[in-house]
Structure 1
Amino acid sequence: MSSILIVTDAWHPQINGVVRSLERTAEELEAIGVRVEVLSPQAFLTLPCPTYPEIRLSLAHRGMVRRKIEEYDCEHLHIATEGPLGVLAASVAKKTGLPFTTSYHTRFPEYVSARLPVPLNWSYGWLRRFHNAGCGCMVATRSLEQDLRKRGFKNLMRWSRGVDEQLFKPYEGAVLPADLPRPVFMYVGRVAVEKNIKAFLDLKLKGSKVVVGGGPQLEVLRREYADVHFTGAMVGEALARHYSDGDVFVFPSLTDTFGNVMLEALACGVPVAAYPVMGPLDVIGDTGAGILSENLQEAAEAALDIPREHCRKIAMNYTWAASAHQFLDNCIRARDFHNTQFAEANAAE
């Protein structure tokens, strides 16, 4: 396969795991000779998402998206998100008979229910129809695959994640304020209600709590938790150095499907404390690189004893090159599946 078009509602200037995963996958694919095009909200007029202005919603219609898809002229279409662009792209693909895959990055029903009184089965019903319309739905972990299969999702394919081991590594020298008491317990990610950050901020831990990231809850939490050090959003080496300066990475989310930030923390030599739920169970599991417990405080305190060298060793099992090859294999398999179905349908006629 020589060319792939990725349609995504999540793209720059957003800073999150979906954007990083797509960006690194595209880079690795291009390095092995695959042309990758990205159709994002940047190609259209947009408006800010209510309550989350950094997310831009595309003002497009099906004809506009169809013209863009035809203009890129790629062998395969991958729809990464279930937002306005993703929905329009799927509509175009179904109408024109174009094979496509999707990926399930976010537990959208749980995110919606955290903000609105929408029953989970309504949201999952809509998502099931969306993803089952394609030739394959890529998921990051076995836990997510099992959960979605029970909910009626079909043609599930595994697509794991990677970590940039050259950027995310142990660094010498502190970047956090010198007067912050040790140990430092750190959270990195979007500062939003679905991340369950308060479960971390309410812990009675000795030392300091640090939150690295931006989002709709940032200013509210800054006012509510005056004893917590909030850095705002970080990227690149500055982000990696902040990870490295922490003693334990606390991941309080109950809704993430993977959690790239856990890999980044481990690569910097920082052990993880988290709940035993989807994401942490798959990334940390029984590796010994973190502590999983329903008592997040006990997990955070126990993680202090984990050797930092072991954490980085575990993270090195994940590479973006392997992730990209897995993604490409899924696209090829999905296209072959589509061609087989097409041939069988023609033979039946």
Structure 2
Amino acid sequence: MNAPAVEVPRPPLSVAVVTETYPPEVNGVAMTVGRLVQGLRARGHRVQVIRPRQPGEEASLVADGDATLGGLPLPGYPGLRFGLPAKGKLLRAWRQERPDVVHLVTEGPLGWSALAAARRLGIPATSGFHTNFDRYSIHYGFGILRPAVAAYLRTFHRRTLATLAPTVALAAALAGEGIPGVKVVGRGVDTALFDPQRRDGALRASWGVAEGGLAVLSVGRVAAEKNLPLTLKAFAAIRAQRPDARLVVVGDGPLRRSLEAAHPDHHFAGVRVGEDLAAHYASGDLFLFPSLTETFGNVTLEALASGLPTVAYRSAAAAELIRDGEHGVTVNPGDEAAFVAAAVGVATDAAGRQRLAQAARAKALACSWDQVVTDFETVLRQASGGAAGAYAAALGSASSLPMV
């Protein structure tokens, strides 16, 4: 008889993660990267995070071996910063202590310079496609630059061994644009944190929701790209049928002040994190998410885990996680009339909301962060084996691009 195969432990990786957003910043990308880094470190890998330093940030917030570099405020988002080019610093650091692989989270000046340094040293590099910056340009008065922004993003990701996309649809779109090595690495959710059991009657009362009333939630950046006018339109239609309804907006952003002034009857909860955020989700009755700029939309998965019935466009996470009429309600992207009708339909159907809530929770329970970290680790290991000649060969399709 043949002896059973013995699995040989694989050595830990040394990974440099370059990102322009990271906890304690509050956004989907920061949360995702924080989870991935935490997961890799828990498995024994050495991970160095390289990012811009936030104003007033104390050194105690930076983990041992991590690096913070110079940055500037992101226009329209004063709480976020983009990193300045640091190719020289990274070349010196990586020559002294060479990582097995560099993972690039964002495509800004810091990310581009890190990509240049990795290519110069022959270090395999992977990237993540987290934000549709080309779509954002429309909402900030720079729509004329959308083709240029899209071209820049394509150029950036064509120069890495693998580009990670959170959904099958986005992966197919990126591959169709000529980006090589596209891999699907999804998102997970902490179902112990986001749990319907955190529903809080006192919190609902603080929102001004009467006993038996309807709490309609909007969670995310209070910004133009989130399509908040449609949220307001849908809520107005709901209130015409349910006068006891109350709109609760969770989050902050450049539009918050103007919306608060224009809608004093709505409750603006500001930024909420951890158990506080989870209680807000669980204490709602209906979640409206009309954004069309998401690559994924972590809030969708958090709402599902919280047993919160969701109405969304059939796009990004909602398209892959929500079976229409079973886990929530989805409508064709851009069909505003259908979105409003769906929102009113769910708002006026108490039994339907209960059914959707139970199915949503069951769906989210299958979305494990552990599996996401495993998928991410697999991509990094594959890339780390692509150094030297194999790395150059893999980038052959980008050989005509100018070197940086």
Q: What TM-score does the superposition give when structure 1 sets the normalisation length?
A: 0.93
Please identify, of 100-109 and 148-157, the stretch whose mean Cα deviation from structure 2 is larger: 148-157
In structure 2, which of residues 94, 100, 114 is the aligned counterpart of residue 89 of structure 1?
Answer: 114
Q: Structure 2 matches for 1:159-198, cutoff 5 A?
A: 159-170=185-196, 171-174=198-201, 175-176=203-204, 177=206, 179-180=208-209, 182-198=213-229
Number of the residue aligned with 2:82: 57
In structure 2, which of residues 30, 36, 52 is the aligned counterpart of residue 25 of structure 1?
Answer: 36
In the alignment, is the contact (CA less than 8 A) between 1:7 and 1:39 conserved in 2? yes
Number of the residue aligned with 1:3: 14
Deviations 1:65-98 (A, max 9, x none): 3334446632111001111211110111122221
Deviations 1:169-198 (A, max 9, x none): 111422132632521111111111111112
- CA 3–184 in structure 1, closer or farther in 2 if over 3 Å, else same: same
Number of the residue aligned with 1:146: 172
Distance 2:301 2:284 in 1: 14
Number of the residue aligned with 2:9: none
The amino acid of 2:160's aligned partner reads G
| C-alpha deviation, 1:162, in angstroms | 0.4
Please identify, of 110-119 and 68-77, the stretch whose mean Cα deviation from structure 2 is larger: 68-77
Q: Gaps (5+ residues) in structure 2?
A: 1-11, 54-67, 240-244, 395-404
| C-alpha deviation, 1:13, in angstroms | 4.1
| C-alpha deviation, 1:279, in angstroms | 2.9
The amino acid of 1:329's aligned partner reads T
* CA RMSD, Structure 1 to Structure 2 (Å): 2.0
The amino acid of 1:122's aligned partner reads A
Q: Does 1:105 align with 2:130?
A: yes
Distance 1:132 1:186 in 2: 39
Distance 1:220 1:118 in 2: 26
Distance 2:188 2:339 in 1: 26
| C-alpha deviation, 1:338, in angstroms | 4.4
Determine which structure has more spread, i.e. the larger CA radius of gyration. 2
SS at match of 1:20: helix
Q: How many residue pairs get matched?
A: 345
Number of the residue aligned with 1:301: 344
Distance 1:329 1:161 in 2: 15
Q: Does 1:282 align with 2:315?
A: no
Q: Does 1:217 align with 2:228?
A: no
- CA 178–45 in structure 1, closer or farther in 2 if over 3 Å, else same: closer
SS at match of 2:385: helix
Number of the residue aligned with 2:363: 314
Distance 2:86 2:105 in 1: 18
Distance 2:150 2:392 in 1: 31
Instruction: Give the % identical residues.
Output: 34
Q: Gaps (5+ residues) in structure 1?
A: none
In the alignment, is the contact (CA less than 8 A) between 1:168 and 1:240 conserved in 2? yes
Distance 1:21 1:71 in 2: 29
The amino acid of 2:162's aligned partner reads G
- CA 13–251 in structure 1, closer or farther in 2 if over 3 Å, else same: same
Q: Structure 2 matches for 1:26-41, cutoff 5 A?
A: 26-41=37-52
In the alignment, is the contact (CA less than 8 A) between 1:135 and 1:338 conserved in 2? no
- CA 121–172 in structure 1, closer or farther in 2 if over 3 Å, else same: closer
Q: Does 1:122 align with 2:122?
A: no
In the alignment, is the contact (CA less than 8 A) between 2:217 and 2:288 conserved in 1? yes
- CA 344–78 in structure 1, closer or farther in 2 if over 3 Å, else same: closer
The amino acid of 2:273's aligned partner reads V
In the alignment, is the contact (CA less than 8 A) between 1:78 and 1:101 conserved in 2? yes
- CA 342–144 in structure 1, closer or farther in 2 if over 3 Å, else same: closer
Distance 1:68 1:228 in 2: 51
Distance 1:232 1:136 in 2: 37
The amino acid of 2:220's aligned partner reads G
SS at match of 1:98: coil
The amino acid of 2:342's aligned partner reads A
SS at match of 1:5: strand
| C-alpha deviation, 1:125, in angstroms | 1.1
SS at match of 2:174: helix
Number of the residue aligned with 1:12: 23
The amino acid of 1:111's aligned partner reads Y
Distance 1:71 1:229 in 2: 53
Number of the residue aligned with 1:231: 269
Q: What TM-score does the superposition give when structure 2 sets the normalisation length?
A: 0.81
Distance 1:344 1:292 in 2: 43
Distance 1:53 1:230 in 2: 19
Deviations 1:114-160 (A, max 9, x none): 21133432221111110010000000001111222222222100110
| C-alpha deviation, 1:213, in angstroms | 0.3
